[in-house]
Structure 1
Amino acid sequence: MTTPQDAIRARRRLTNKMIAAHDAARLRPFFAPDVKLIVGDGGLILGVEAVIQAFAGQFADADFITYVREADTVKLDAAGARAAEHGRWTARWKTGDMGGTYLAAWRKVTGQWVIESELYVTLTD
C-alpha cells in the first residue's frame, strides 16, 4: 500500500514532468480551486486559474526551461487529511538558474492529494 507521503512525492514528481513538458493545463488537477501561491519574490497568486495562467506565461518565455521541486520532508497531520512538504526548488532558464526553499500544504480531497498553498523563497539568483 502506498503511504500518503509517497503519494505526495509521486504527485510532485508528476508536476515536475508536466512543467518540464510546458503543459500548463495538465497541472490544474494538482491544485485546489482556492490555492494560494507566494512566489519567490514575494508576489501572491490566488486561485487555480491564476496559477495556471502564471505557468502558461512562463512556458511562453523562449528562455524558460523548467522548475524542479525536490521534497526533503513530507509530514502528515494526525487525521491524515493534510500534509506539509518542505524542500528545495530550482528554476532553469537558458540565461541561468535560481532557486531556494519551499513549503507546500497539501490536503486530501475525494481521495486525491491537492496543493492548497505554496510558499517559495528565492535564496539564489
Structure 2
Amino acid sequence: MSGTELAIRTRRAAFNRAIAEGDAAAIGPLLAKDCVMVTGTDSAVIAGRIGQVKVWRREFAHPGRMIYVRTCETVTGSPVEPIAMEYGRWQGTATGADTPLAAGTYAAKWREVGGEWVIEAEIFVTLT
C-alpha cells in the first residue's frame, strides 16, 4: 500500500468516526475549503466546507439520525499532481438499528494540501 493510499484510508476512517460520534468539528479539517458533495438520492449539491459542516451539524441534532459509513475499496494516486481518487461503498443506518436503510457507491477526489489530504469532491449514488 502506498503512502498516499494509507493516508487517505486513515482520513476516511477519521471521517467515519466523526459521523458515528456526531462530531461536526472533526469533519471540517478533512474537507477542502471549496469542496463539493453530491448526495446519493436527490443529487443535492452541498458546496464548501462551511456548508457541509452546517449540514452535518443539523444531521447530528436529530435523535434518529442516520450513521453513514464509507468503505474505501480503491485509491488511485496521481503520479503528476498531489491528487488521488477514492472509490468505495457507503451505507446509512438509523441510530440504534442494525439494518441499513440506504446504500450505494461513491467516488471522492482528494488533494494533498500543506501535508494533509483533504476531500475536494464526493459523489454518492444510492443503489438500495
Give CA-to-partner distance per residue, 1:24-78, whole Å, 9 cap, x none: 0111000000001101121100100110011111111111141100011000011
2:70 maps to a residue whose letter is R
Q: Which structure 2 residue ranges, 5 or more long, are not aligned?
A: none
Contact 1:20 1:65 in 2 (8 A): no
Alignment pair present for 1:120 and 2:120:
no
* 2:104 alignment partner in structure 1: 100
Alignment pair present for 1:27 and 2:27:
yes
* 2:16 alignment partner in structure 1: 16
| RMSD over aligned Cα atoms | 1.6
CA distance in 2, matches of 1:82, 1:29: 17
CA distance in 2, matches of 1:8, 1:69: 12
CA distance in 1, matches of 2:107, 2:62: 26
Aligned residue pairs total 124
CA distance in 2, matches of 1:97, 1:108: 33
Structure 1 stretches of 4+ with a deviation exceeding 2 A read none
With normalisation by structure 1, the TM-score equals 0.93
CA distance in 1, matches of 2:87, 2:123: 10
1:67 maps to a residue whose letter is Y
With normalisation by structure 2, the TM-score equals 0.91
Question: How much does 1:80 deviate?
Answer: 4.9
2:11 maps to a residue whose letter is R
Residues 1-125 of structure 1 aligned to structure 2 (within 5 Å): 3-40=3-40, 41-94=42-95, 97-124=101-128
Structure with more of its chain in strand, by fraction: 1
Secondary structure of 1:106's aligned partner: strand
